């Protein structure tokens, strides 16, 4: 089952790579609309690269969709945080002071692991198979004791990585103005009023609201005022 999963995954990835090559070719030919259709489909599937995000931002800005351009650049910033990208986001949003773009070393490490999650899971699955084969081989020789803990360890690590190694949940504020309040109700006290371009860290979801971390405090924001990254 494990081998079948990775063979099918490999075939699927190869098909996606071919589509992206086609989109890149269309982009070079300045067929931006056709390229954007392919890029958008892959983006919705969670398949993207830093270069693809930059191209999508370029196309979105070219057609005057600054909100989408900001979204793609914000996603790109997660993968490759640099001052130039942040300056471009500020120009697109008209905001000089943006909150939520701080990237710690720990966050960069997590994002690095998430980017190569499929490879990490594949390597762990391979080690798990080796461990299972080792148990089977050892069990043929009755005089030797069998150690199960390596196999159990690999199973636990594989389960934890596959199910819990995810990027921090963040969202981009896209509506103007957006109110951040103290409680998930319309009657909650206003904590802050912000314009599009800021980012928030999502803690949990409650009906029409997200519980967020805003300036090191817990607050709430309506879901229709943000776009998940």
What are the b/e assignments for 125-137, b being 16+ CB within 10 Å?
bebbeebeeeeee
- For residue 45, give every residue at least 6 positions away whose Cβ sits within 8 Å of its Cβ, in sequence order, or none: 16
How does pLDDT run across 97-150, given as a tens digit for each residue? 899 888 777 777 777 777 777 788 888 888 888 888 887 777 776 555 667 777
What pLDDT sits at residue 136?
Answer: 78
| 185 CB burial (10 A radius; 0-12, 13-18, 19+) | exposed
What pLDDT sits at residue 206?
Answer: 85
Whether domain 170-228 has CATH 3.40.50.720? no
Residue 27 near residue 55, CB atoms below 8 Å: yes
What pLDDT sits at residue 120?
Answer: 85
* Secondary structure element (H or E) that encloses residue 7, with its range: helix 2-28
Global pTM exceeds 0.75: no
Tokens for 71, please give them: 């979204």
Domain chopping of the chain, boundaries: 2-93, 109-164, 170-228
Quote the Cα angle for 156-161-164, to 5°. 110
The fold adopted by the segment(s) 2-93 is: 1.25.40
What pLDDT sits at residue 20?
Answer: 85
* Successive 10-residue mean pLDDT values, the chain, 229 residues: 48 60 92 94 85 95 93 89 91 89 75 78 85 78 67 83 77 91 89 92 90 91 91
């Amino acid at each position: 089952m494990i081998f079948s999963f990775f063979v099918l995954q490999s075939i699927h990835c190869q098909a996606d790579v071919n589509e992206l090559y086609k989109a890149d070719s269309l982009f070079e030919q300045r067929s931006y609309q056709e390229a954007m259709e392919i890029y958008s489909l892959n983006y919705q599937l969670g398949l993207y690269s830093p270069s693809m995000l930059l191209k999508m931002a370029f196309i979105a800005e070219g057609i005057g969709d600054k909100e989408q351009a900001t979204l793609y650049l914000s996603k790109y910033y997660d993968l490759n945080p640099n001052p130039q990208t942040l300056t471009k986001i500020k120009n697109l949003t008209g905001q000089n002071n943006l909150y939520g773009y701080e990237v710690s070393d720990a966050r960069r490490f997590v994002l690095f692991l998430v980017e190569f999650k499929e490879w990490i899971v594949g390597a762990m699955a391979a080690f798990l198979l080796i461990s299972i084969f080792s148990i089977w081989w050892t069990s043929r020789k009755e005089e030797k004791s069998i150690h199960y803990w390596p196999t159990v360890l690999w199973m636990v690590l594989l389960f934890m990585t596959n199910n819990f190694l995810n990027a921090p949940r963040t969202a981009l504020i896209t509506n103007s103005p957006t109110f951040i309040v103290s409680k998930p109700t319309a009657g909650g006290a206003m904590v802050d009023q912000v314009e599009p371009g800021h980012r928030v860290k999502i803690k949990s979801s409650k009906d029409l609201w997200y519980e967020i971390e805003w300036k090191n405090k817990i607050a709430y924001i309506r879901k229709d005022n943000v776009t998940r990254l």
